[in-house]
Amino acid sequence: MNQRNHAMTTEPQTTLPQDENQIITERRAKLKAIREKGIAFPNDFERKHLAANLHAEFGEKSHEDLEAAQIHVAVAGRMMLKRVMGKASFATAQDVSGRIQLFVSNDNTGEAAHAEFKHYDLGDILGAEGVLFKTKTGELSVRVTKIRLLTKALRPLPEKFHGLTDQEQKYRQRYVDLMTNEETRNTFLIRSKIVQAIREFFARHDYLEVETPMMHVIPGGASAKPFVTHHNALDMPLYLRIAPELYLKRLVVGGFEKVFEINRNFRNEGLSTRHNPEFTMIEFYEAYRDYRYLMDFTEKLFSEVARKVLGTTVINYQGKELDLGQPFHRLTMVQAIQKYHPQFSDAQLNDRDFVINELQDLKAKYKPEDGLGGLQLSLFEELAEAHLFEPTFIVDYPVETSPLARASDTRPDITERFELFIVGREIANGFSELNDPEDQEARFDAQVAAKEAGDEEAMFKDADYVRALEYGLPPTAGEGIGIDRLVMLLTDAASIRDVILFPHMRPE
RNA sequence: GGGUCGGUAGCUCAGCCGGUAGAGCAGCGGACUUUUAAUCCGUUGGUCCCGAGUUCGAAUCUCGGCCGACCCA
């Protein structure tokens, strides 16, 4: 019965425009001929060598040394370039590590095999065996004795010199982008190294890596609109998580005193060069620490990751230089506003009416019901945020916009919270955690009231989370870092889509 | 949501003061045994994003729409 239900649901499907063309037709005919001769997609070629390893090991050897050594190799890869010259040909094969040149000739490969090779197309995947040698110009190459077509490519590669440049196609058909653009491959190699370096950092600090639910009954831990899905068996709505925060802190309650999770969050918001609906965050929590410790810890993390991945802490972002190895600036919101707008006095920026006036003059978005802190935050976002190019911690966030953060002991209207801005973008958010269950419950109630008053991004009340706090959360500090934005910074990427393999796109 | 730019051959792009579409690469055929985006000769290939309007005639001008990139909110 359930199966019937499933069968009756509409299956998502994609239909691509009819795009057969002369080239594809030609290649289909070639494939048909290959099928008629035998196995068209063989899987018995034994690849023994990678291009980059061969260059590293034998690239410096002389022509004579190579001839004397007679090094037999078996390489495989996609044919990216092809130069046919009658009785001999050159081809460039690309594997995961790089490229190696193949020399195919009547003399070494045989006339029949060479004749067949001439009909191979750019993009085809080849396997070749032969002996290493150096060409006249000194390029390490394989003098091919055997060559086979392993996979016929039916679709042509983009133009060989410019590669794929159309941004939309680079995102939609990332596989084509990856096979043609070294820069794209490099971006995602760096991304992988960044994540690896982060894991190493946390492992060395004795953190436990955990996985908490992606599907939440109550979406919590951030102020954002969630995606909704439906659980059939339980017949109830579920929300894709907007943050793992509340679950990670439950783990600290349970006694895992240092935890982190690197995974996706989902926020049902617009798309931009800085926003993708699913994005990767690391969140981490450590007991018996506060937000000041986190700031120092974050500086260490960023400079270590940069040094490991790029070999330096000095990075160039969109033509401007910054150093992740220097201590980051630390400013309050008011100080940050004054840094770029010194005409405002402390008295003015602490005058509610004055701030509202400024916001109105700037035609800025703000919530009129906000207290001074919330209004200052709106003004900060309007006047200062985009200018914070060098790493800067902004501190003293108002209680009303920080419902999970511990309030200051000296100023009850602000929290022990910071956000880190680099190149004008928010990249991290951390605070001393609110571990007073009664205060937390009151803050949730205030959020619920705001939601009922129409604030779609206000938080839901999570009663079990309050119950967990009632068992006792030790004093704890926690932080989230946007991995995509960090990768943008370290790969000099202008758009978040450039650092996400398959960014969200409107369906074709 | 607003602004700017763009959508022409498989790819990279010309053509856009209206006269019915071009180059390079890729493909196909030919020459060429050390090329490097090989070169040379020949050649196939188009829903000029979609729709409407203006006009004798629209890739080109006008309007509407779709899609994308960038900037702004």
In this predicted structure, the answer to whether residue A285 has a pLDDT above a threshold of 70 is yes
Residues lying close to strand B (Cβ under 7 A), chosen from 151-180 of chain A, are 155-169, 171
User: Among the residues of A43-166, which ranges form H helices?
Assistant: 51-58, 63-69, 106-109, 111-117
- Stated in angstroms, how far is A59 CA from B39 C1'? 28
- Stated in angstroms, how far is A183 CA from B4 C1'? 28
Q: What is the mean pLDDT of residues A429-445?
A: 97
User: What does the alpha-carbon distance between residue A148 and residue A46 come to, in Å, rounded to a whole number?
Assistant: 11
Residues lying close to strand B (Cβ under 7 A), chosen from 199-238 of chain A, are none
pLDDT band at A1 (very low <50, low <70, confident <90, very high): very low
**Considering chain A, what percentage of its residues have pLDDT values greater than 90?**
79
pLDDT tens digits along A167-215:
888 998 899 999 999 999 999 999 999 999 999 999 999 999 999 999 9
Residue A335: per-residue pLDDT: 95
The answer to whether the beta carbon of residue A111 comes closer than 7 angstroms to any atom of strand B is no
In Å, the largest CA–CA distance within chain A is 89
Residues 6+ apart with CB under 8 A from A301: A198, A201, A481
The answer to whether the beta carbon of residue A289 comes closer than 7 angstroms to any atom of strand B is no
The answer to whether the beta carbon of residue A269 comes closer than 7 angstroms to any atom of strand B is no
- Among A53, A76, A198, CA closest to A130: A76
pLDDT tens digits along A87-135:
999 999 999 999 999 999 999 999 999 999 999 999 999 999 999 999 9
pLDDT tens digits along A349-380:
999 999 999 888 888 888 888 889 999 999 99
Residue A6: per-residue pLDDT: 42
Residue A7: per-residue pLDDT: 38
- Stated in angstroms, how far is A23 CA from B22 C1'? 20
pLDDT tens digits along A291-334:
999 999 999 999 999 999 999 999 999 888 999 999 999 999 99
Q: Which nucleotides of B are covered by protein (CB under 7 A)?
A: 9-13, 24-29, 31-39, 44-45, 47, 67-73
pLDDT band at A51 (very low <50, low <70, confident <90, very high): very high
User: What does the alpha-carbon distance between residue A98 and residue A210 come to, in Å, rounded to a whole number?
Assistant: 35
* Residue whose CA is minimally distant from B69 C1': A167
Amino acid at A441: E
- Bridge partners of A141, per DSSP, are A101, A133
Provide the ipTM.
Answer: 0.90
User: What does the alpha-carbon distance between residue A348 and residue A238 come to, in Å, rounded to a whole number?
Assistant: 46
The answer to whether the beta carbon of residue A361 comes closer than 7 angstroms to any atom of strand B is no
pLDDT tens digits along A59-95:
999 999 999 999 999 999 999 999 999 999 999 999 9
